[in-house]
Each structure stands twice: as C-alpha cells, then as structure tokens.
C-alpha cells in the first residue's frame, strides 16, 4: 500500500526542500513552502509536486546524487505504482484529497541532483515514466509522514 515517506517544504523557495513531518495541503499549495518562479511552479493546478521513493532509489543506483526533496517534490511516496499514474486520478492522503493534473517538467534548478547536471533524466518527453507529477488540491487538509495514499 502506498504511503507518504516524506513531506518536503522550503519556506525560502528553491531546492532542496527539507523534510518536515506535517503539512497542510491548501488550494494554493503546501503551507510553508515557497516557489521562486510562479510562471512555472505553484498555483492551483501545480499546488503539490509528488515523486516516487523507488524512482529516487533507482536514480541513486545509477550514480546520481538525487535524494528526497532535491528535485523539489513536496510529497515523496513509497510503494506506489508510478507507471500507472495518469492525469485525473484522485488520491486521499490524510485529511486532503488531491487530483493529478500534469507531469512536472524538470528545470535547471534541479540539475545538481544528476551526475551529468542534466535534469532531463526525469523529463517525460526524454524518459517516459520518470517524471514527477503535479496535483491540485480538491479538499484542503493536513498530511503527515506515514499517511496512506489511497486512490479515490
């Protein structure tokens, strides 16, 4: 069963996003997290960024210095079938309900997570199945590490 491995937020913006134990998912984003460039990050359709712990571990095994929160994800999820995700899927997490909106394109600010300094390693166009996901918040609520991620 899928579970929240880590919640990551940076009140100053940018990456890495340090781990926290509890956060409120709001329509506008994760409380206590800031995005530096609102043209490409944040907002109602990109309120929460998600990534797979298993994908992070596979990238580490390839020799990349990626770690939880270094690519800007707010929720690092363990034991989810990442390859089955698609836009429109809804998930209940803690008190919140979210809906996947789009795959998150990588940006240059996360290049340091990759041994060749090329964030396109997690670009859906270049490497399908490796991208992070953006989600909108349908029901605001608190989430904490260890919460189940239940498809709704």
Distance of CA 85 to the CA centre of its chain: 13
The boundaries of the domain holding residue 118 are: 3-151
With cut-offs at 50, 70 and 90, classify the pLDDT of residue 43.
confident
pTM over 0.85: yes
31 is written with which tokens? 């409380």
DSSP 3-state of 151: strand
pLDDT tens for each residue of 124-152: 999 999 999 999 999 999 999 999 999 98
Per DSSP, what are the bridge partners of residue 134?
49, 102
Whether the CB-CB separation of 17 and 74 falls below 8 Å is answered with yes
pLDDT tens for each residue of 87-128: 999 999 999 999 999 999 999 999 999 999 999 999 999 999
Tally of domains in the chain: 1
Domain of 129, CATH number, reads 2.40.33.20
């Amino acid at each position: 069963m899928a579970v929240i491995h880590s919640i990551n937020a940076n009140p100053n913006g940018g990456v890495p996003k340090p781990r926290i134990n509890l956060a409120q998912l709001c329509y506008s984003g994760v409380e206590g997290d800031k995005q530096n460039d609102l043209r490409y990050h944040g907002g109602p359709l990109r309120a929460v960024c998600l990534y797979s712990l298993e994908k992070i571990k596979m990238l580490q095994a390839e020799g990349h210095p990626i770690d939880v929160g270094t690519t800007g994800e707010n929720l690092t999820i363990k034991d989810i079938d990442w390859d089955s995700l698609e836009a429109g899927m809804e998930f209940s997490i803690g008190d919140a309900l979210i809906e996947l909106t789009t795959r998150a394109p990588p940006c240059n600010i996360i290049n340091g997570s990759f041994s060749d300094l090329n964030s396109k390693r997690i670009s859906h166009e270049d490497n399908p199945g490796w991208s992070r996901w953006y989600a909108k918040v349908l029901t605001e609520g608190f989430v904490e590490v260890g919460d189940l991620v239940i498809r709704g």
